Amino acid sequence: MRTAIIEDEPLALSRLEKIIRQYRPDWDVLYKGQSIKELNSILEEKDAIDLLLCDIHLADGLSFKALKGKSLNFPVIFITAYDEYALRSFDHNCIDYILKPIDEERLLRSFEKVESFGKNTVNEQFTPDFFEKIIREYQTKTYKKRFLSKIGKRIRFVPAEDVSYFLSEGGVTYLVERESNKKYLVDYSLQELEEFLLDPNKFYRINRSTIIHLDALNEMKPYINGRLLLSMNVVSDTKIIVARERVQDFKIWINQ
């Protein structure tokens, strides 16, 4: 099986390649890339591959846009950290999707699915408007625009763009408002915020207890043990630190 991998997170790309080499040693990883530009180069050589593993959110845009209008004769396995619900609507027998963090067993089931189909099946599933439909459905997702927040007996709405960061302390989630040090209680866990409510182009989970808003970031500098210390546009004694294992992905996200 001649395989291509397009994934802009180096650790995820390395894990995909490692799983292939361990469980499908007869497969060849012929192409690797991290951007739409590299994906387009691979698609020009489409007759040279039998399978494409492709991240949806690449540093320079959605991979769907590169695939739009293309006549593909191979299956695609999409990789995504978000929007499982959006992918369910086009779970065709020639396409599968894997959620991050990548689960080895789930990926192997996708490989088995690919091996059970031939190229004729793939051709039948990729109609001319296939990726047009995907893009329309995928981009219809809306994110939460405001949060009902509590401070003492006060209840108010805080627009998402006025959030500096979300903080989890003792099992309770707080919203910290931009341009102030006011901290409001919100009725969502960080996991719910990250997976379902926040725009991933604007918000990023930098560690187990903190999700920051990109527009609220003033500067960042190296910190102890390979971490990053962030300066936000709030008055606070709380240190906002990017976990070491997330630093590389965070820098990629910053440069989107």
Q: Residues 122-154: pLDDT tens digits?
A: 544 555 566 666 666 555 566 888 888 877 777
Nearest 5 degrees, angle CA 56-CA 62-CA 65? 115
Report the CATH number of the 2-138 domain: 3.40.50.2300
State pLDDT tens for residues 29-53: 999 998 888 999 988 876 789 999 9
Domain ranges, ordered by start, for the chain: 2-138, 146-254
| Mean pLDDT to the nearest integer, 179-208 | 88
Q: How far apart, in Å, are the Cα atoms of 196 and each of 33, 39, 115, 236?
A: 28, 28, 33, 28
CB atoms within 10 A of CB 34: 19
Closest CA to 233 of 213, 218, 248, 254: 218
pLDDT recorded at residue 93: 36
| Mean pLDDT to the nearest integer, 229-246 | 90
* Residue pair 4/48 in contact by the 8 Å Cβ criterion: no
* Residue pair 16/54 in contact by the 8 Å Cβ criterion: no
**What pLDDT band is residue 67 in, cutting at 50, 70 and 90?**
confident
**What pLDDT band is residue 89 in, cutting at 50, 70 and 90?**
very low
The Cα 137–Cα 53 span in angstroms is 21
Taking all residues of the chain, what is their mean pLDDT, rounded to a whole number? 83
Q: Which residue carries 């099946």 as its tokens?
A: 121
The Cα 39–Cα 31 span in angstroms is 9
pTM for this structure? 0.52
Q: Which CATH architecture has domain 146-254?
A: Beta Barrel (2.40)
* Residue pair 69/23 in contact by the 8 Å Cβ criterion: no
pLDDT recorded at residue 94: 47
State pLDDT tens for residues 53-66: 998 888 777 787 78
* Residue pair 239/231 in contact by the 8 Å Cβ criterion: no
**What pLDDT band is residue 82 in, cutting at 50, 70 and 90?**
low
* Residue pair 149/185 in contact by the 8 Å Cβ criterion: yes
Sheet with 217-222, edge to edge strand ranges = 217-222, 228-232, 240-242
Quick check: 91 pLDDT over 60? no
To the nearest whole percent, how much of the chain has pLDDT over 90? 42
Closest CA to 71 of 127, 3, 133: 127
Residue 189 has what DSSP assignment? -
Closest CA to 212 of 227, 194, 236, 189: 194
Nearest 5 degrees, angle CA 206-CA 208-CA 210? 55
